[in-house]
Amino acid sequence: MRVVITGGAGFVGSHLCERLLGAGHQVVCLDNLISGRAENLAALSRQPGFHFEQVDVSDRCDAAGPVDAVLHFASPASPVDYLRHPVATLRVGSRGTENALELARRKQARFLLASTSEVYGDPEVSPQPESYWGRVNPIGPRSVYDEAKRFAEAITFAYRRSQAVDTRVVRIFNTYGPRMRPNDGRVVSNFIVQALTGEDLTVYGDGSQTRSLCYVSDLVSGVLGVLGLAPEIPEAAGPINLGNPVEMTVETIARLVLELTGGSSHIVRRPLPEDDPKRRRPDIRRAQRLLGWTPQVPAHEGLERTIAFFRAELATPTPTAVRPSAAAPATAESRA
């Protein structure tokens, strides 16, 4: 296939590019590098089937030649990024999604939207099934991301109904692994960097709020499984949760990181940020039934790999190796 990936220089996007190239496909990566990193593509740029263009897909989304699939992963995804770029986050969820859908329509390509567990907001139902409509504050500080993704889903289904575009939607839960940015404000990267640098680990609230951590290689397998679903399968059109159903408290994650790093840091507490979800646990029965997909990498193993990545990252003096500050809420949403 020839695949366009928007946001392909990001954490998840770059792993998708790598997996597709390794399987012999051609990849066109579009990214404005607001939150993506050129370093994530360094090894890929030497491969003949890879093409990168620095572009804001909220303004323009195009690719010369045939296209078989468009994977829309462009968006700031961590709280640090979308709170710093609120309007850009809303634009890429609205105009960027429309432009990516238009590309798929013009090229008669399959379209896959990277949505998020944030569409469920601070849920009153757990685990969260795809049928749950969510509990989102539409005007709170997190709404720029939550509502951008909810709109992105709405316009994706509108294009499916009115323009006959073959669409897929995945709702991605907390994902972690190599290529996360040290200063992106997510719970795993925050805790690991703080532990490795001897700083206290910042836990927001009482630490009883939960996250479900999915290693990035498992997530990529799920995404590609959804992309490959046959169009005649009715449920292929609906949103599909991708995440790890094993629920862990934030304090448990912090203590596990301390154990695996051998750090002597202490846990300190800060007030819980506004609208921070108290529970995150996906109902993945739809993915299991349609794809035979279940995450394979246990938390200990995935965290050890991620810790090894951050040890190397912090040992290399680059501008990206910045310690997370206590002001960055330790939430755990992951996207491109």
Q: How far is CA 66 from the centre of its chain?
A: 27
Output the pLDDT for position 79: 87
Q: Residue 234: what pLDDT?
A: 86
Q: Is 282 within 8 Å of 245 (Cβ atoms)? A: yes
Q: Give residue-wise pLDDT tens across range 293-336.
A: 999 999 999 999 999 999 999 987 654 433 333 333 434 343 33
Q: What is the pTM of this model?
A: 0.92
Active site residue 176: no
**Given 145, 159, 204, 215, the catalytic residue:** 145
State the pLDDT at residue 335: 38
Task: Delimit the domains of the chain by residue range.
Answer: 2-174+214-242
Q: What is the pLDDT of residue 272?
A: 81
CA atoms within 13 A on the CB side of 98: 8
Mind listing the pLDDT tens digit for each residue in 191-225? 999 999 999 999 988 899 999 999 999 999 999 99
Q: For residues 78 and 184, what is the distance between their CA atoms, to the nearest angstrom? A: 6
DSSP 45: T
Buried b (16+ CB within 10 A) or exposed e, 214-231: bbbbbbbbbbbbbbebee
Residues written for the chain? 336
Residue 330 tokens, joined:
């330790």
CATH dotted code for 2-174+214-242: 3.40.50.720
Q: What parts of the chain have a pLDDT lower than 70?
A: 317-336
